[in-house]
């Protein structure tokens, strides 16, 4: 009886386990079916229409050529002015995607004609773009490198990933029934095919070949991996082959595609590694300044140079003792990721501080103060010379006025002033000695007054050895000035 009950319980447990397994299997099958329906792109893909659409976009002449030229000019202006919005607008109207997608599709469906046309049109497109960008930057007065230009000269593995996913999005959008214009426009912006070509033109126009090589490499990354993504999606969707290709030829095409992708990918991995290391060291340097370089009354400003791997720290405010700075140097060498880097400390606007530079700093400050004192002495001497000159002129006028009194008894008084005159036609400036006289006899005739002024003018020009002399008669009862 007990044996039957035990067997019955075991059978019930087995049935329960089987039922649970079936439920779990049913849930997994439902999830798999849901995901399959959600992510399946085979249904709703128009293969023949996609091939024809790509074939039409390959052609690069007439309207497309002019659109490319205009968009290159717009993008170059945006890069030159550091205007991101302008660059994005240029990428939206640029017809650069057609030949690149045609390369991937032509390889995938074994269409040699499409592949050859794509390569030719891509070469024409690149040449025309470089020529247009070079022409713009050659005639542009602004030759300085901007952030937008510099951002297109240092490609990394991240650019490879952008090109891969951008290419996948592009061909999937083209394969869907009805063109998804928003997706295609977004891919054009994300993959950024045009700015690298404009930057390469900038490198040619300014003779900076490092920028040219970096920008062209970025363009090659985008072009190759967009084409490879197109190749993979077309194979996944089983686009119809243009003609029969045997198994060996298909494998050979796949190997060539893999080799090209690897050769383009390899340098970008190294650049990404370098960028990653720079970011690690930059983060370590910021952490060192934040946690270690602390002193009451002092505020540090840091700058990390990734080329020389040097951290410059400018300390503003309260001076920091050299003992504390030396302790900071030791801790810097012990910091992870910074052991092979250098650190330089600046007190305000001074030179980098080292253990033996305190005396030199004091000497330089003393020299600056001595120079300031010498400048003040020079200024004082110039003022004294000017004062002596004025005193000398005053004495000369006393002698001159006495001679006038003895030679011309008709004159009651005389005054002197220097008059500075500007001729707007000749743009010349002259200083004229003006002598104002008053006659002591108001009944003296005009002819006699004129004769006295004429003789006095000739005498003064001879006496002063200068032709720039002028005599004015001032009437004691009228504020009118009469020129001689």
The span from the CA of 123 to the CA of 215, in Å, is: 16
* Torsion angle in degrees (nearest 10) through CA of 166, 171, 174, 176: -110
Kindly report each contact of residues 144-148 with a partner whose C-beta sits within 8 Å and lies 24 or more positions away, as own/partner. 145/202, 145/208, 145/211, 146/79, 146/80, 146/81, 146/82, 147/82, 148/78, 148/79, 148/82, 148/83, 148/84, 148/87, 148/195
Query: What does the pLDDT read at residue 135?
Result: 92
Contact 289, 302 (CB under 8 A): yes
Residue spans of the domains in the chain: they are 1-40, 47-243, 408-483
Query: What does the pLDDT read at residue 351?
Result: 47
Contact 292, 336 (CB under 8 A): no
Contact 226, 166 (CB under 8 A): yes
String of DSSP letters for 238-273: TPPPSS---HHHHHHHHHHHHHHHHHHHHHHHHHHH
Among 470, 463, 465, 464, smallest CA distance to 484 is for 470
Contact 66, 106 (CB under 8 A): no
Residue entry with tokens 């602390």? 294
Which helix (H) or strand (E) element contains residue 343?
Answer: strand 342-347
Length of the chain: 484
Q: Does this model's pTM top 0.75?
A: no
Residue 45 per-residue DSSP state: B
How many CB atoms neighbour CB 127 within 10 A? 10
Q: Which tokens go with 379?
A: 């200024």
Query: What does the pLDDT read at residue 82?
Result: 80
User: Integer distance in angstroms from the first to the last C-alpha of the chain?
Assistant: 155
CA 93 to chain centre: 24
Q: Which tokens go with 140?
A: 């542009």
CA distances for 405 relative to 53, 203, 322, 442, 446, angstroms? 109, 82, 78, 17, 20
How many CB atoms neighbour CB 332 within 10 A? 22
Question: How would you write the pLDDT of the chain (484 residues) with one tens digit per residue?
Answer: 555 555 566 566 556 666 666 667 767 666 766 555 555 555 656 677 778 778 887 877 778 788 888 888 988 888 888 888 888 877 777 777 788 888 888 877 777 778 888 888 888 889 999 999 999 998 888 888 887 787 777 776 677 778 788 878 877 777 776 655 555 556 665 567 788 889 999 999 988 888 898 888 888 888 888 888 888 888 787 777 766 556 666 667 667 766 765 666 677 677 667 777 877 888 888 888 888 888 888 888 888 887 788 888 888 888 888 888 888 888 888 888 888 888 888 886 444 444 444 455 556 666 766 676 766 667 676 666 655 554 455 457 777 777 887 778 888 888 877 777 777 777 677 777 788 888 887 777 888 888 888 888 888 887 777 787 888 888 765 444 444 4
How many CB atoms neighbour CB 415 within 10 A? 13
The span from the CA of 462 to the CA of 265, in Å, is: 93
The span from the CA of 270 to the CA of 273, in Å, is: 5
String of DSSP letters for 305-330: ETTTTEEEEEEEESPPPHHHHHHHHH
Contact 360, 347 (CB under 8 A): no
Query: What does the pLDDT read at residue 134?
Result: 92
Which segments of 424-468 are extended strands (E)?
428-439
Among 250, 252, 187, smallest CA distance to 222 is for 187
SS3 179: coil
Query: What does the pLDDT read at residue 127?
Result: 92
247: left (phi over 0), alpha (psi -120 to 50) or beta: alpha
Q: Which tokens go with 327?
A: 């302790």
Domain 47-243 of CATH type 1.20.1080: yes
């Amino acid at each position: 009886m007990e044996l039957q009950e035990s067997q019955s319980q075991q059978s019930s447990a087995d049935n329960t386990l089987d039922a649970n397994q079936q439920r779990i299997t049913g849930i997994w099958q439902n999830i798999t079916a849901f995901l399959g329906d959600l992510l399946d792109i085979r249904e709703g893909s128009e293969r023949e229409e996609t091939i024809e659409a790509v074939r039409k976009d390959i052609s690069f002449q007439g309207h497309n050529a002019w659109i490319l030229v205009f968009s290159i000019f717009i993008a170059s202006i945006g890069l030159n002015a550091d205007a991101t919005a302008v660059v994005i607008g240029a990428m939206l109207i640029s017809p650069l995607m057609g030949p690149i997608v045609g390369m991937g599709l032509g390889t995938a469906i074994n269409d040699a004609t499409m592949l050859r046309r794509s390569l030719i049109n891509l070469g024409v497109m690149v040449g025309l773009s470089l020529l247009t960008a070079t022409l713009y930057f050659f005639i542009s007065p602004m030759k300085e490198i901007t952030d937008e230009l510099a951002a297109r000269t240092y490609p990394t593995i991240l650019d490879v990933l952008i090109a891969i996913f951008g290419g996948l999005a592009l061909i999937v959008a083209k394969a869907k029934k009805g063109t998804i214009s928003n997706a295609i426009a977004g891919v054009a912006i994300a993959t950024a095919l045009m700015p690298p070509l404009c930057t390469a033109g900038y490198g040619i126009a300014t003779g900076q070949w490092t920028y040219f090589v970096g920008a062209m490499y970025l363009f090659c990354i985008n072009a190759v991996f967009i084409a490879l993504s197109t190749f993979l999606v077309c194979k996944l969707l089983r686009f119809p082959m243009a003609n029969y290709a045997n198994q060996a030829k298909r494998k050979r095409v796949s190997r060539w595609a893999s080799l090209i992708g690897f050769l383009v990918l390899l340098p970008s991995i190294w650049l990404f590694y370098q960028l990653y290391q720079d970011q690690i060291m930059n983060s370590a340097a910021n952490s060192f300044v934040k946690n270690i370089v602390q002193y009451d009354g002092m505020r540090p400003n840091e700058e990390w140079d990734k080329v020389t791997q040097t951290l410059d720290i400018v300390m503003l405010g309260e001076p920091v003792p050299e003992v504390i700075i030396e302790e900071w140097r030791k801790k810097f060498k012990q910091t992870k990721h910074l052991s092979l880097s250098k650190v330089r400390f600046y007190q305000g606007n001074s030179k980098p501080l080292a253990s033996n530079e305190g005396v030199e700093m004091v000497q330089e400050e003393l020299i600056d103060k001595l120079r300031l004192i010498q400048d003040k002495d020079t200024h004082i001497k110039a003022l004294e010379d000017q004062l002596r000159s004025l005193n000398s002129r005053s004495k000369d006028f006393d002698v001159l006025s006495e001679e006038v009194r003895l030679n011309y008894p008709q004159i009651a008084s005389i005054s002197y002033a220097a008059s500075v005159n500007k001729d707007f036609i000749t743009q010349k400036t002259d200083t004229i000695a003006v002598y104002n006289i008053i006659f002591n006899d108001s009944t003296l005739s005009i002819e006699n007054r004129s004769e006295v002024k004429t003789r006095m003018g000739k005498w003064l020009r001879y006496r002063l050895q200068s032709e720039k002399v002028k005599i004015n008669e001032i009437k004691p009862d009228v504020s009118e000035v009469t020129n001689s």
